[in-house]
Copies of this chain bind each other. A is one copy, B any other.
C-alpha cells in the first residue's frame, strides 16, 4: 500500500475515533507509521486531505450499494435494496460522514464535491434509465436530475436519523420505510423485473 493511501486510511480511522477537530497530524502519521514531514510530501495541508477522504467514502458507499443491489431483482426491489444499503452505510459511518461534510464545507474544496459524487450520480442515473426503458418507473422522470434528487433524499433522511436524532434503531427502520414509500410513489413503481 502506497504511503498516500496509508495516510488516507489512517486519517479515516483517527477522524472516526476522535473527531476532526481533535485530530492532530501527528496522530495520523503515527498510525500510518510514517514521519511527520512525509505527510506534507503527499498533502499540502491538513484540510487538503478532505477531498481524498470523501472520495474514498463515496467509493465505499457505491461499492456497498452495488453489492447489495441484486441486478436480477425487480426494480422496486432494487431501489429498496439501495435505500437499505445507504442507510446501512450511514449508520456505520455517520460520524466520519459528518466530518467530511463539515470538512468539505469549511474549505475551498467544496468545488470538488461534484466530481467526487459524480460516479454515484451516474450509476443511479443509469439504473433509472434502464428502469424507465423497462417501464418500471414513471416515464416523465429525467434520470440525471432524479438521480441527484434520490441520493439527496435518502442521505438526508438517513442523516436526520443517525446523526441528529437519537440513533434509535426502530425509529430508523420506520423512517426508512416511509422514505421508501415516498420514493415508490414519486417514481410510480411498477413491478417489472430488472
Q: Which residue in chain B gives the minimum CB-CB distance to A186? A: B186
Q: Which of A97-131 contact B (CB under 8 A)?
A: 98-99, 101-103, 105-107, 110-111, 113-114, 117
Q: Which residue in chain B gives the minimum CB-CB distance to A112? A: B164
Q: Which of A154-170 contact B (CB under 8 A)?
A: 155-157, 159-160, 163-165
Question: Which residues of the other chain, B, contact A179 by a CB distance below 8 angstroms?
Answer: 149
Does residue A183 face the partner (Cβ distance < 8 Å to B)? yes
Question: Which residues of the other chain, B, contact A156 by a CB distance below 8 angstroms?
Answer: 152-153, 155-156
Does residue A148 face the partner (Cβ distance < 8 Å to B)? yes
Number of chain A interface residues as a range? 35 or more
Does residue A20 face the partner (Cβ distance < 8 Å to B)? yes
Which 7 A-B residue pairs are closest in the complex by CB-CB distance? A152-B156, A102-B102, A186-B186, A113-B164, A145-B178, A156-B156, A98-B105
What are 21 residue pairs bridging A and B, where the CB atoms are less than 8 Å apart in the complex?
A: A21-B106, A98-B105, A101-B105, A105-B163, A111-B164, A113-B164, A114-B165, A140-B181, A142-B178, A145-B174, A145-B175, A145-B178, A148-B175, A149-B153, A152-B152, A152-B153, A152-B157, A152-B159, A153-B153, A153-B156, A155-B156
